[in-house]
Amino acid sequence: MPAARVMARRGAGRGQTRTVTDIDLLSPSSFAHGQPHDQFTWLREHDPVHWHPEPGGEGFWAVTRYADVRSVGRDPATFSSVPGIMIPDDGAMELGEHQMMIMTDPPRHSSLRKVVAREFIPKVAQAMRPRIDVLATNIIDQVAAAGACDLVPDVAGLMPSYVIADMLGIPHEDGVALYELTEAIHAAPESQAAGAAMQAILEMFNYANGVWQARRAEPSDDLADIIAHATVDGRELDVIDFNLFFLLLIDAGGDTTRNLVAGGMDALFAHPEQMAWLMADLDARLAPAVEELLRWVSPVVYMRRTAQQDTELRGVPIRAGQKVVMYYGSANRDPEVFGPSAGELDLSRAPNDHIAFGGGGPHFCLGAHIARQEIHALLRELLTRCVDLRPAGETEWLPSTFISGPKS
Ligand code: HEM
């Protein structure tokens, strides 16, 4: 596919110094200070369906406009989640008839999602709020007196690990340890020891095996029990299905929610006038502010799909089998939808049709309602209890091209 070279000078002659050769969405260095919005802006304007080379792989289409991200995500018949939702294919395991829900298409996907969906509906998320408020109080209790802390592990990371631990019926400290494994799973391979991601997955499966055995031996009233006793399309789920569900649930809600809270605070520190606006009426303004922070931070950088047949997007031909990657952070700054202020943080933004949880297709974030409760409770507690909050040092960013947020 010679497209990268052919397009290499696109934009030249229009006062643009950037060329497509400057685009690198696979290098952790592009994400060293958050998402590469300069690259996204160029791509949206000049090459919104961009052929991106992939060292050691066949390359992929980088889709950066809001309308296109939504249409890809809503069309699983053309853009499949099989064989996976990350760009590299090398982590694929031979799992036979077992699949992780996020890597399936309807109708299989619908059957798997039905197993857990009712535990994530808005009514259930709302009913969890008093408990989530208590967790928020406990988390801030642990740091308030100290005067300083690392917001990422000491505050933001604890909430999602406690909540999913409660839902799965495992101890809080195990939830925290399992979340640490997800970081190794998401880190760019060149940023850690060879095999570290696979080692983390195996440790997760090892732990999940124990939970499976415990629930099969003695039923309980938690989400782990529901999965351990589920039947899907006439087949009882087995320990491998259980492990895949367990990994997905631990993995999907942890660093995403954490990065939103920590990245959101980083954004508030960088925009003191927005922080002042929020604090002037926190109760009334926190809900729209959370939506704007979701748009601004967009913790999930991308989801990948694979073309099922030859098709086209914005007039660009896409061949069957090619990878198509939806960049949510870019879509969420598209002026076509968010107007001329798309690149500004405006906590009062309304309407705010961000797609940080996905563009509304079948895989739309299962945990969106719970995530909002967690984020709201934790920010409220943090901002009301800790007056005169200030950054204690520079924000360090995660070396990941998949999940964006502060590391420390
Ligand atoms: C700020 C926090 C979060 C963000 C930004 C986020 C974002 C996303 C995105 C972008 C997707 C893919 C959507 C698509 O492909 O259309 C997704 C899927 C998913 N999320 Fe979240 N998420 C968050 C929190 C959570 C939480 C707290 C949980 C669980 C407790 C969770 C569970 C899931 C699951 C299970 C899926 C896969 C759904 C499926 O395949 O049907 N997420 N999330």
Reported as a single tens digit per residue, the pLDDT across 166-217 is: 999 999 999 999 988 987 887 777 778 888 988 999 999 999 999 999 999 9
Which residue type, as a one-letter code, is found at position 28? P
Q: What is d(CA 386, CA 394) in angstroms, rounded to the nearest whole number?
A: 19
**Average pLDDT of the segment spanning 41-64:** 97
Ligand 1 close to Cβ of residue 367 (< 6 A): yes
Report the nearest atom of ligand 1 relative to the CA of 375.
Answer: 1
CA of 23 to the centre of ligand 1 (A): 27
Ligand 1 close to Cβ of residue 357 (< 6 A): yes
Q: Is the per-residue pLDDT at 14 higher than 70?
A: no
Ligand 1 close to Cβ of residue 101 (< 6 A): yes
Percentage of the chain beyond pLDDT 90 is 82
pTM to 2 decimals? 0.94
Q: What is d(CA 213, CA 93) in angstroms, rounded to the nearest whole number?
A: 23
Ligand 1 close to Cβ of residue 50 (< 6 A): no
Measuring from atom 1 of ligand 1, which residue has the nearest CA? Answer: 257
Ligand 1 close to Cβ of residue 301 (< 6 A): no
Report the nearest atom of ligand 1 relative to the CA of 101.
Answer: 40
Pocket probe mutation, ligand 1, options 365, 370, 378, 402, max atoms within 8 Å of Cβ: 365
Q: Check if the beta carbon of residue 140 is closer than 8 Å to that of residue 155.
A: yes
CA of 11 to the centre of ligand 1 (A): 35
Tell me the sheet residues that pair with 317: 312
pLDDT digits (tens, 9 = 90+) for 347-379: 999 999 999 999 999 999 999 999 999 999 999
Reading the block at residue 34, the tokens are 């958050």
Q: Check if the beta carbon of residue 85 is closer than 8 Å to that of residue 304.
A: yes
Banded model confidence at residue 146, pLDDT cuts 50, 70, 90: confident
Pairing type for strands 311-313 and 316-318 reads antiparallel
Burial of 285 (0-12, 13-18, 19+ CB in 10 A): middle
Q: Is the per-residue pLDDT at 121 higher than 70?
A: yes
Identify the weakest region by mean pLDDT among 17-31, 48-62, 252-266, 309-323.
Answer: 17-31
5 or 230, greater pLDDT: 230
Which residue from 226, 115, 182 is spatially nearest to 403, judged by alpha carbons?
182
What confidence score (pLDDT) does residue 183 get?
Answer: 79
Q: What is d(CA 146, CA 154) in angstroms, rounded to the nearest whole number?
A: 11
Q: Check if the beta carbon of residue 264 is closer than 8 Å to that of residue 382.
A: no
pLDDT digits (tens, 9 = 90+) for 222-264: 999 999 999 999 999 999 999 999 999 999 988 899 999 999 9
Q: What is the mean pLDDT of the chain?
A: 92
Report the nearest atom of ligand 1 relative to the CA of 326.
Answer: 15
Q: What is d(CA 63, CA 312) in angstroms, rounded to the nearest whole number?
A: 12
